Amino acid sequence: MKQFESDGYLEIDLGLDDDLLDRVVADSQELYGGPHRKEEGVIYFPNRVQDAWHVSENVKALALAPRVLEVLDELYGRKPLPFQTINFRRGTEQAPHSDALHFSSIPEGYMCGVWVALEDIDMDNGPLVYYPGSHKLPMVTMREVGVDASKSEYERYEQHIAGLIEREGLEPEYGTIEKGHALVWAANLLHGGAEQRDRERTRHSQVTHVFFEGCKYYTPMLSDGEEIRWRNPAWIA
Protein backbone atom coordinates (compact mmCIF):
# COMPACT_ATOMS: atom_id res chain seq x y z
CA MET A 1 0.00 0.00 0.00
CA LYS A 2 2.98 2.31 0.60
CA GLN A 3 3.85 1.92 -3.08
CA PHE A 4 0.45 3.30 -4.06
CA GLU A 5 1.02 6.38 -1.94
CA SER A 6 4.55 7.00 -3.23
CA ASP A 7 4.24 5.90 -6.87
CA GLY A 8 0.52 6.29 -7.59
CA TYR A 9 -0.03 2.74 -8.82
CA LEU A 10 -0.20 -0.82 -7.55
CA GLU A 11 -0.11 -4.22 -9.28
CA ILE A 12 -2.39 -6.90 -7.85
CA ASP A 13 -3.17 -10.51 -8.70
CA LEU A 14 -6.94 -10.81 -8.98
CA GLY A 15 -6.89 -14.53 -8.19
CA LEU A 16 -9.46 -15.24 -10.92
CA ASP A 17 -9.89 -18.33 -13.06
CA ASP A 18 -8.85 -17.92 -16.67
CA ASP A 19 -12.37 -18.97 -17.66
CA LEU A 20 -13.85 -15.60 -16.67
CA LEU A 21 -11.07 -13.67 -18.40
CA ASP A 22 -11.54 -15.72 -21.57
CA ARG A 23 -15.31 -15.14 -21.49
CA VAL A 24 -14.72 -11.39 -21.24
CA VAL A 25 -12.52 -11.58 -24.34
CA ALA A 26 -15.11 -13.68 -26.20
CA ASP A 27 -17.95 -11.29 -25.33
CA SER A 28 -15.90 -8.26 -26.34
CA GLN A 29 -14.83 -9.80 -29.66
CA GLU A 30 -18.44 -9.77 -30.77
CA LEU A 31 -18.70 -6.01 -30.14
CA TYR A 32 -15.61 -4.74 -31.99
CA GLY A 33 -15.27 -3.75 -35.61
CA GLY A 34 -18.48 -1.89 -36.38
CA PRO A 35 -19.04 1.84 -36.92
CA HIS A 36 -18.79 4.29 -34.04
CA ARG A 37 -22.20 4.41 -32.40
CA LYS A 38 -24.06 4.33 -29.09
CA GLU A 39 -26.79 1.81 -28.36
CA GLU A 40 -28.42 0.89 -25.04
CA GLY A 41 -25.73 2.66 -23.04
CA VAL A 42 -22.84 0.97 -24.89
CA ILE A 43 -20.45 3.07 -27.02
CA TYR A 44 -18.83 1.15 -29.89
CA PHE A 45 -15.49 1.82 -31.58
CA PRO A 46 -13.53 -0.39 -34.03
CA ASN A 47 -10.95 -1.56 -31.48
CA ARG A 48 -12.61 -0.81 -28.15
CA VAL A 49 -16.03 -0.75 -26.56
CA GLN A 50 -17.16 1.42 -23.67
CA ASP A 51 -19.60 0.25 -21.01
CA ALA A 52 -20.02 -3.28 -22.33
CA TRP A 53 -21.08 -4.17 -18.79
CA HIS A 54 -24.60 -3.20 -19.92
CA VAL A 55 -24.67 -6.21 -22.28
CA SER A 56 -22.08 -8.62 -20.85
CA GLU A 57 -22.41 -10.24 -17.45
CA ASN A 58 -18.76 -11.30 -17.72
CA VAL A 59 -17.50 -7.74 -18.25
CA LYS A 60 -19.67 -6.71 -15.30
CA ALA A 61 -18.31 -9.52 -13.12
CA LEU A 62 -14.73 -8.47 -13.85
CA ALA A 63 -15.53 -4.85 -13.00
CA LEU A 64 -16.86 -6.06 -9.65
CA ALA A 65 -14.06 -8.54 -8.92
CA PRO A 66 -13.99 -8.98 -5.11
CA ARG A 67 -10.21 -8.65 -4.84
CA VAL A 68 -10.32 -5.28 -6.61
CA LEU A 69 -13.10 -3.89 -4.41
CA GLU A 70 -11.32 -5.13 -1.29
CA VAL A 71 -8.05 -3.41 -2.23
CA LEU A 72 -9.76 -0.17 -3.22
CA ASP A 73 -11.68 -0.03 0.04
CA GLU A 74 -8.41 -0.43 1.92
CA LEU A 75 -6.57 2.18 -0.18
CA TYR A 76 -9.24 4.89 -0.05
CA GLY A 77 -11.17 4.14 3.14
CA ARG A 78 -14.48 4.49 1.30
CA LYS A 79 -16.78 2.14 -0.59
CA PRO A 80 -15.65 1.89 -4.25
CA LEU A 81 -18.31 2.61 -6.89
CA PRO A 82 -17.35 1.30 -10.37
CA PHE A 83 -19.09 3.34 -13.07
CA GLN A 84 -17.45 2.77 -16.46
CA THR A 85 -15.71 -0.03 -18.35
CA ILE A 86 -13.65 0.07 -21.53
CA ASN A 87 -12.55 -3.12 -23.28
CA PHE A 88 -9.67 -3.14 -25.75
CA ARG A 89 -8.37 -5.63 -28.30
CA ARG A 90 -5.33 -3.54 -29.33
CA GLY A 91 -2.96 -1.14 -27.60
CA THR A 92 -4.22 2.44 -27.65
CA GLU A 93 -0.90 4.27 -28.20
CA GLN A 94 -2.71 7.10 -26.42
CA ALA A 95 -0.68 10.16 -25.42
CA PRO A 96 0.03 10.56 -21.69
CA HIS A 97 -2.80 12.15 -19.73
CA SER A 98 -4.40 12.23 -16.30
CA ASP A 99 -7.80 10.69 -15.69
CA ALA A 100 -8.40 13.52 -13.23
CA LEU A 101 -9.12 15.83 -16.19
CA HIS A 102 -11.98 13.56 -17.28
CA PHE A 103 -13.26 12.26 -13.94
CA SER A 104 -12.95 14.08 -10.64
CA SER A 105 -14.65 14.35 -7.31
CA ILE A 106 -15.40 16.69 -4.45
CA PRO A 107 -13.54 16.09 -2.19
CA GLU A 108 -10.75 15.70 -4.72
CA GLY A 109 -8.92 12.47 -5.47
CA TYR A 110 -11.66 9.88 -4.95
CA MET A 111 -11.36 8.28 -8.36
CA CYS A 112 -9.06 5.60 -9.77
CA GLY A 113 -8.56 3.32 -12.74
CA VAL A 114 -8.20 -0.48 -12.70
CA TRP A 115 -6.58 -1.98 -15.81
CA VAL A 116 -6.79 -5.77 -16.12
CA ALA A 117 -4.64 -7.85 -18.47
CA LEU A 118 -6.81 -10.41 -20.27
CA GLU A 119 -3.68 -11.93 -21.81
CA ASP A 120 0.03 -11.63 -21.03
CA ILE A 121 1.28 -8.13 -21.84
CA ASP A 122 4.85 -7.45 -23.01
CA MET A 123 6.70 -4.62 -24.73
CA ASP A 124 5.58 -5.75 -28.19
CA ASN A 125 1.79 -5.71 -27.83
CA GLY A 126 1.27 -2.20 -26.54
CA PRO A 127 1.51 -2.08 -22.74
CA LEU A 128 0.27 0.72 -20.57
CA VAL A 129 2.92 3.39 -19.94
CA TYR A 130 2.84 5.43 -16.73
CA TYR A 131 5.00 7.88 -14.79
CA PRO A 132 5.51 6.93 -11.13
CA GLY A 133 5.07 9.82 -8.70
CA SER A 134 3.33 12.06 -11.24
CA HIS A 135 0.07 11.78 -9.26
CA LYS A 136 1.61 14.17 -6.71
CA LEU A 137 1.84 17.01 -9.25
CA PRO A 138 -0.94 19.63 -9.28
CA MET A 139 -3.86 18.59 -11.47
CA VAL A 140 -3.65 20.26 -14.88
CA THR A 141 -6.93 21.84 -16.03
CA MET A 142 -7.77 23.40 -19.37
CA ARG A 143 -7.38 26.80 -17.72
CA GLU A 144 -3.75 25.93 -16.77
CA VAL A 145 -3.19 24.94 -20.40
CA GLY A 146 -4.52 28.36 -21.45
CA VAL A 147 -7.50 27.17 -23.48
CA ASP A 148 -11.26 26.99 -23.09
CA ALA A 149 -12.93 24.13 -21.24
CA SER A 150 -13.72 22.08 -24.34
CA LYS A 151 -13.03 18.70 -25.92
CA SER A 152 -11.92 20.52 -29.08
CA GLU A 153 -8.82 21.81 -27.25
CA TYR A 154 -7.71 18.39 -26.00
CA GLU A 155 -4.70 18.25 -28.33
CA ARG A 156 -3.33 21.37 -26.63
CA TYR A 157 -3.72 19.59 -23.29
CA GLU A 158 -1.73 16.60 -24.59
CA GLN A 159 1.03 18.93 -25.78
CA HIS A 160 1.12 20.60 -22.37
CA ILE A 161 1.43 17.22 -20.61
CA ALA A 162 4.28 16.17 -22.94
CA GLY A 163 6.13 19.37 -21.99
CA LEU A 164 5.40 18.79 -18.30
CA ILE A 165 6.89 15.29 -18.44
CA GLU A 166 10.05 16.67 -20.04
CA ARG A 167 10.39 19.58 -17.62
CA GLU A 168 9.88 17.37 -14.55
CA GLY A 169 12.23 14.69 -15.86
CA LEU A 170 9.60 11.99 -15.34
CA GLU A 171 10.70 8.47 -16.24
CA PRO A 172 8.23 5.96 -17.72
CA GLU A 173 7.45 2.47 -16.54
CA TYR A 174 5.45 -0.10 -18.49
CA GLY A 175 2.56 -2.37 -17.62
CA THR A 176 4.12 -5.65 -18.72
CA ILE A 177 1.95 -7.80 -16.50
CA GLU A 178 0.60 -11.33 -16.57
CA LYS A 179 -2.89 -12.38 -17.56
CA GLY A 180 -5.21 -11.96 -14.59
CA HIS A 181 -3.15 -9.23 -12.95
CA ALA A 182 -4.35 -5.64 -12.63
CA LEU A 183 -2.81 -2.21 -12.32
CA VAL A 184 -4.64 0.22 -10.05
CA TRP A 185 -3.68 3.87 -10.56
CA ALA A 186 -4.55 7.11 -8.82
CA ALA A 187 -6.70 9.60 -10.70
CA ASN A 188 -3.87 12.08 -11.33
CA LEU A 189 -1.21 9.57 -12.40
CA LEU A 190 0.03 10.43 -15.89
CA HIS A 191 -0.37 7.41 -18.15
CA GLY A 192 -1.04 6.42 -21.76
CA GLY A 193 -0.48 3.62 -24.25
CA ALA A 194 2.99 2.56 -25.41
CA GLU A 195 3.75 1.78 -29.05
CA GLN A 196 2.32 -1.51 -30.32
CA ARG A 197 5.42 -2.90 -32.00
CA ASP A 198 3.78 -6.08 -33.28
CA ARG A 199 0.69 -5.05 -35.24
CA GLU A 200 -0.37 -8.66 -35.73
CA ARG A 201 -0.95 -9.26 -32.03
CA THR A 202 -3.84 -8.41 -29.75
CA ARG A 203 -3.67 -6.70 -26.37
CA HIS A 204 -6.90 -7.76 -24.76
CA SER A 205 -7.58 -5.79 -21.59
CA GLN A 206 -10.32 -4.12 -19.59
CA VAL A 207 -10.18 -0.88 -17.65
CA THR A 208 -12.77 0.01 -15.04
CA HIS A 209 -13.09 3.57 -13.76
CA VAL A 210 -14.13 3.90 -10.15
CA PHE A 211 -15.47 6.68 -7.95
CA PHE A 212 -15.99 6.40 -4.19
CA GLU A 213 -18.98 6.81 -1.92
CA GLY A 214 -19.85 10.14 -0.30
CA CYS A 215 -18.58 12.48 -3.04
CA LYS A 216 -19.90 14.75 -5.77
CA TYR A 217 -18.64 13.91 -9.26
CA TYR A 218 -17.80 16.14 -12.20
CA THR A 219 -15.81 16.54 -15.46
CA PRO A 220 -12.99 19.11 -15.07
CA MET A 221 -12.27 19.21 -18.83
CA LEU A 222 -15.74 20.71 -19.40
CA SER A 223 -15.82 22.86 -16.24
CA ASP A 224 -14.58 26.41 -15.79
CA GLY A 225 -14.73 28.26 -12.49
CA GLU A 226 -18.24 28.08 -11.09
CA GLU A 227 -19.56 26.52 -14.31
CA ILE A 228 -19.20 22.88 -13.33
CA ARG A 229 -20.19 19.94 -15.53
CA TRP A 230 -21.57 17.59 -12.90
CA ARG A 231 -21.75 13.83 -13.43
CA ASN A 232 -24.57 11.49 -12.47
CA PRO A 233 -22.84 8.12 -12.96
CA ALA A 234 -24.63 4.88 -13.74
CA TRP A 235 -23.15 2.61 -11.08
CA ILE A 236 -22.12 -0.92 -12.00
CA ALA A 237 -23.94 -3.05 -9.46
Please tell me the total number of residues recorded for the chain in this structure. Answer: 237
pLDDT of residue 1: 76
- Give domain 2-222's CATH architecture: Sandwich (2.60)
State the average pLDDT over residues 186-190. 98
User: What band does 108 get if pLDDT is binned at 50, 70 and 90?
Assistant: very high
pLDDT of residue 112: 98
Query: Quick check: 188 pLDDT over 80?
Result: yes
Residue type, 86: I
Query: Quick check: 22 pLDDT over 90?
Result: yes
Query: Quick check: 79 pLDDT over 90?
Result: yes
pLDDT of residue 198: 98
Contact residues for 237 (Cβ-Cβ < 8 A; gap 6+): 64
- pLDDT of 220-235, one tens digit each? 999 998 899 999 999 9
The percent of residues in the chain predicted with pLDDT above 70, rounded, is 100
Domain borders along the chain are: 2-222
Q: How far is CA 28 from CA 37, 95, 175, in A?
A: 15, 24, 21
Query: Quick check: 39 pLDDT over 90?
Result: yes
Counting Cα atoms < 13 Å in the Cβ hemisphere of 33 gives 4
Contact 18, 180 (CB under 8 A): yes
Phi, psi of 178 (to 5 degrees): -80, 155
Task: Find residue 105's DSSP bridge partners.
Answer: 217
Query: Quick check: 157 pLDDT over 90?
Result: yes
Query: Quick check: 102 pLDDT over 80?
Result: yes
pTM beyond 0.75: yes
User: What band does 54 get if pLDDT is binned at 50, 70 and 90?
Assistant: very high
User: What band does 2 get if pLDDT is binned at 50, 70 and 90?
Assistant: confident
pLDDT of residue 225: 86
State the average pLDDT over residues 128-140. 97
